[in-house]
Amino acid sequence: MRPLILVAGLLLPALADPLPRLYRVEHYDVRIELDPAAGRLTGDVVIRFESTTENLVSLDLDAGGLTVSSVEEAGKRDYFERQGEHLIVVLNAPANPGEPRAVEIHYRAGSSKGVEISATGASAGYFTSHWMPANDRIENPAALALSIAAPAAWKTAAAGQLVRERSEGGQTVTEWSVDGPPQAPFLYAFAAGPYEERKAVVKQTGGSEVGLRVLGGADILVQTKAALEFFAQCTGRPYPRDSYTQVFASGQSGQEAVGLTLLPESYAKTLAAKPQDLWLLAHELAHQWYGIGIPIKSWSDFWLSEGLATYLADAFLERQYGRQRYQAEIAHSQGIYEDLKSKGKDRPLSFEDWTTPDEAGGGLPYHKGAAFLALLRAQMGDDLFWKNLKAYTRDNWGKRVTSEDFQKAMEQDPGKKQKPREITKLFDSWVFGVASGKTREGKSRQ
């Protein structure tokens, strides 16, 4: 995600409600049909879930501003009601652990938070509950099957892999699947429009091929290929899917999804004027490793996604344009961090005490995160830093991580060249505390 969109009240919609959800969604099967002329979509979703408690009588789902027309279970209608952005479904019979259940919801959506639907294109990212009902919480990753019916002349892209495509009643229907490790709904997204399409194939070390695709905007295939190869090399892990698509989408500001990135339309103009302005391209691609390949367990360690993606983008720019460019990027992050500090907004990178979405997000996870990683690399030296980053990536792939996982990997020093205490001190003062002295021990006593 791009830090600019972290506006108070708009980020992390699931945090506003602290009540635990006593069920887990396993799978969403979503079908949407775009109606560009009307500026809306109609959809239905089958949500397969399982209760985590005895006798669960209702489901509390996130449903943004959706208009829900009916909810059914095994062909029988369920009572439902809207409470703000929630959809409460009263189940026909109580649900119990070990008992797979499913509800089917029919709904409509228009342009809304993160969702744009118009005659010139449609796209949606991050605010998933504004285009499909979901348990939109990071703690509930799930599998997704998504079918999109769009005008025949449009090109479509969505999270996951393209499974099949067919023509039907003057429309093109594409089917997508997020399989493999389940993913949190905020990483689902789609875009469709009368885009120009560019394609290339990258052959990775080890033999796997990745189909690159760019819709709209600018031709960035060569730059994307360079970034993809760099990340594969410095993380020790090839790009994990067989396709990667970037869409220059109206109304979007930079958002990663599974195998897909939405970029702002204005970024094409930026690149035309300044071809070396590849930070956003690289940052969003880096999320395919950090944030998606290795998801975070909770928003408390958001920096492990955003700080690492920011730092990897800085390292890519170093590779492309030299040390001076890297130093300028790090100085930029340090400047933003210093500014936050001067406003009294410093806090540990791993921050469990947030009470508002603003506290978990904001610029801090990105820029304090990148500044910390630059310091860590300077302290450890290049060899050990990249070696340990590779070990972190290898050992945690597909797991949901915390800052402790990252620290454990980065403190490894088989050659005993470092003073481990120095690395631990850096983690204590930057990740678990702030330089003014709050430490992990202090925190745990609170």
Considering only 94-102, 170-178, 187-195, 303-311, which stretch makes contact with Zn ion by CB under 5 A? 303-311
Assess 281 for contact with Zn ion (CB under 5 A).
no
Instruction: Note whether 1 binds Zn ion by CB under 5 A.
Output: yes
Q: Which span (77-85, 299-307, 325-333, 411-419) binds Zn ion, by CB under 5 A?
A: 299-307
Stretch that binds Zn ion, among 12-20, 215-223, 301-309, 346-354 (CB under 5 A): 301-309
Q: Return the number of the residue (162 or 309) whose C-beta is nearest Zn ion.
A: 309
CB of 254 to Zn ion, least distance (A): 7
Query: Per CB under 5 A, does 41 bind Zn ion?
Result: no
Q: Token pair for residue 5?
A: 């969109």
* Distance in Å, CB of 224 to Zn ion, minimum: 16
Interior/surface letters 325-361, b for 16+ CB within 10 angstroms, e for the rest: bbeebbebbbebbeebbeeeebbbbbbeebeebbbbb
Kindly indicate which of the ranges 107-115, 201-209, 300-308, 327-335 contains the residues binding Zn ion, using the contact rule CB under 5 A: 300-308
Cβ at position 365, least distance to Zn ion in Å? 9
- List Cα–Cα distances, 298 to 14, 126, 291, 403, in angstroms: 11, 16, 11, 10
With contact defined as beta carbons under 8 Å apart, do 127 and 115 qualify?
yes
- C-alpha distance from residue 55 to each of 51, 69, 88, 97 (Å): 8, 26, 16, 9
Q: Degrees (nearest 5) of the Cα angle 325, 327, 330?
A: 110
The residue among 1 and 191 lying less far from Zn ion, judged by its C-beta, is: 1
Phi, psi of 353 (to 5 degrees): -100, 20
Angle at 214 between CA 260 and CA 284, to 5 degrees: 40
Binding residues among 307-326 for Zn ion as defined by CB under 5 A:
309
Phi, psi of 362 (to 5 degrees): 70, -175
Q: Name the residue nearer to Zn ion (CB basis): 192 or 309.
A: 309
| Environment class of 88 (CB within 10 Å of its CB; exposed 0-12, middle 13-18, buried 19+) | middle
Beta carbon nearer to Zn ion, 306 or 318: 306
C-alpha 302/C-alpha 300 separation (Å) is 6
* Residue list 63-122, contact with Zn ion (CB under 5 A): none
Nearer to Zn ion, 332 or 408 (CB): 332
* Shortest distance in whole angstroms from residue 243 CB to Zn ion: 20
Q: Are strands 260-264 and 243-249 parallel, antiparallel or unpaired?
A: parallel
Give the footprint of Zn ion on residues 373-432 (CB under 5 A): none
Closest approach of Cβ 309 to Zn ion, in Å? 5
Nearest to 147 by CA among 130, 127, 168, 129: 168
Output the CA angle 411-413-418, nearest 5 degrees.
90
CA distances (Å), 155 to each of 41, 243, 245, in order? Answer: 16, 15, 12
Cβ distance to Zn ion smaller for residue 138 or 380: 138
Q: Which residue lies nearer to Zn ion by CB, 32 or 191?
A: 191
Question: Both tokens of residue 182?
Answer: 């389940």
The rounded distance, in Å, linking the Cα atoms of 260 and 64 is: 23
Q: 146 forms bridges with which residues in the sheet?
A: 30, 176
The answer to whether residue 249 forms part of the interface with Zn ion (CB under 5 A) is no
Cβ 36 to Zn ion, closest distance in Å? Answer: 29
Query: Residues touching Zn ion: how many (CB under 5 A)?
Result: 3
Q: Does 15 bind Zn ion (CB under 5 A)?
A: no
Q: Least separation, in Å, of the C-beta of 381 and Zn ion?
A: 27
**Nearer Cβ to Zn ion (2/387):** 2
Pick the stretch among 61-69, 160-168, 305-313, 418-426 that binds Zn ion (CB under 5 A). 305-313
Between 137 and 367, CB nearer to Zn ion: 367
Q: Which is nearer to Zn ion, 154 or 302 (CB)?
A: 302
Q: What residues form DSSP beta bridges with 103?
A: 47
Closest approach, Cβ 43 to Zn ion, in A, equals 27
**Could you tell me the sign of the dihedral formed by the alpha carbons of 160, 162, 167, 168, in that order?**
negative
C-alpha count within 13 angstroms, C-beta hemisphere, residue 185: 28
Whose CB is nearest to Zn ion? Answer: 1
Q: How near is the Cβ of 242 to Zn ion at its closest, in Å?
A: 23
Question: Minimum distance between the CB of residue 287 and Zn ion, rounded to whole angstroms?
Answer: 6
Residue (172 or 305) nearer to Zn ion, CB: 305
| Residue 338 beta carbon to Zn ion: minimum distance, rounded to whole angstroms | 21
The first and second tokens of residue 314, run together, are 């800085």
What is the binding site for Zn ion (CB under 5 A)? 1, 306, 309
